[in-house]
Amino acid sequence: MNIRLISFTARGARLANRLAEGLSGTAMRCGQPLSLDDWTKEGFSAADALIFVGAAGIAVRAIAPYVRSKLHDPAVVVVDETGAFAVSLLSGHLGGANDVTRQVARLCGAVPVITTATDCSGVFAVDSWARIQGCTVENPRRIKEISAWLLSGGTVQIASDWPIAGAVPDGVELTDMQDYDVHLTLTKTEESALRIIPKIAVLGVGCKLGTPQSAIKQAFSELCEQENLCPEAFGLVCSIDRKAEEPGLLAFCKAHHLPFVTFSAEQLMQAEGAFSASPFVREITGVDNVCERSAVLGSGGTLFVKKRAGNGVTMAAASRPFHPDWRWQNA
């Protein structure tokens, strides 16, 4: 987790440095070298959590121009320079600010101040659960409705494409029926349900030299549409090392905020499984299949979409192992 801290006084700097060490983060005193606005702006685009060691008002004014939504905002925590109180200010659940606040409190002996209703009431928080399980949320407008229903004493029906380990939380029922409130899945499902999507899919890609980004984007859109997959399920793109500097592929990964990893032909040949072999591809690249083998190698899991080819692009998809449980708070 990329955690950044900023302080404003000598006393605050000492606390910030101590917290940075305990959180494996980085600390900076305001103006050395960045201004408060520059630090905040950069942090909102690059950091997972921002910790202000100082007054809450300073933090509120600093972050105001950059707040977007609970899906995109980093965790924001404020701790006073004496270390008496740690306040979860923004993105408590999906951003993880509540958990960061608890960590800060343990490190400096502060009182954790957490105001999200589900946490205060000890009620299952579906968005916290999603984050802790390494998932994203596709239609977050439903979070508020589901949380309100749980807080009123209602029961939420959750469907899952995987077994979920542990005791089911109060207010939650697992269901295999079609009428559910939440679905843990890689696929596009009932529009009214909250979709929680594990980012476990790995996209394997092969393409001709000079293939434009538009062709790769179209191939990806077609794969997701025809296989009924949520694009948000993909967390990595893989290919052969000869494509490491392919402009169109690099542009596609950048546009979709996806890391890109390549393997040598020798590494790809070590991938285990049954693959769609092509003598032509082997003659050119030294390996009989690029997209399927790279997806499997990058995921450490199994292929679930075999090679698709068209317009100079080949694609396949594999999934990482995924073993969800019912944890929704980090201790």
The verdict on residue 220 lying in a domain is yes
Last residue of a domain, one of 56, 81, 115: 115
User: Reading across the β-sheet that carries 194-198, which strands appear in turn?
Assistant: 135-137, 194-198, 182-184, 156-160, 172-174
Query: In terms of domains, do 28 and 111 share one?
Result: yes
Q: Is residue 250 part of a domain?
A: yes
CATH of the domain at 257: 3.30.420.180
Q: pLDDT at position 190, please?
A: 65
Q: Is residue 125 part of a domain?
A: no
Give which of 204, 301, 317, 220 is closest to 262, Cα–Cα: 204
Q: Are residues 228 and 313 in the same domain?
A: yes
List the CATH number of the domain containing 146: 3.40.1390
CA 141, 129, 232 angle in degrees (round to 5)? 60
**How far is it, in rounded angstroms, from Cα 33 to Cα 31?**
5
The answer to whether position 286 is within a domain reads yes
Domain identity same for 209 and 304: yes
Q: Could you read off the pLDDT of 29-82 as tens digits, one per residue?
A: 999 999 999 999 999 999 999 999 999 999 999 999 999 988 889 999 999 999
Whether residue 194 sits in one domain with residue 299: no
- Domain containing 209: what range? 201-319
Q: How do beta strands 156-160 and 182-184 pair?
A: parallel
Q: Do 167 and 206 lie in a common domain?
A: no
**Which CATH number does the domain housing residue 94 bear?**
3.40.50.11220
pLDDT at 94: 85
Same domain, 226 and 193: no
First to last CA, the chain: 17
Q: Are residues 263 and 193 in the same domain?
A: no
Assigned domain for 51 exists = yes
User: Is 144 a domain residue?
Assistant: yes
* Sheet containing strand 49-53, strands side by side: 26-29, 3-7, 49-53, 75-79, 85-90, 111-113
Same domain, 214 and 286: yes
Domain match, 315 and 215 both: yes
What pLDDT is attached to residue 331?
A: 57
Does one domain contain both 309 and 230? yes
pLDDT block averages, 10 residues each, the chain of length 331 = 96 96 96 95 95 97 93 93 96 90 96 92 91 89 90 94 95 89 87 90 96 96 95 96 96 96 95 89 89 96 94 95 90 57
Q: pTM surpassing 0.85?
A: no
Total of domains in the chain: 3
Residue 292 within a domain: yes
**What confidence score (pLDDT) does residue 183 get?**
93
Rounded CA separation 269/286 (Å): 9
Residues 80 and 103 in one domain: yes
Spell out the SS3 assignment of the chain: CCEEEEECCHHHHHHHHHHHHHHCCEEEECCCCCCHHHHHHHHHHHCCEEEEECCHHHHHHHHHHHCCCCCCCCEEEEECCCCCEEEEEECCCCCCHHHHHHHHHHHHCCEEECCCHHHHHCCCCHHHHHHHCCEEECCCHHHHHHHHHHHCCCCEEEEECCCCECCCCCCEEECCCCCCCEEECCECCCCCCEEEEECCEEEEEEECCCCCHHHHHHHHHHHHHHHCECHHHEEEEEEEHHHCCCHHHHHHHHHCCCCEEEECHHHHHCCCCCCCCCHHHHHHHCCCCCHHHHHHHHHCCEEEEEEEEECCEEEEEEECCCCCECCCCCC
One domain, residues 89 and 149: no
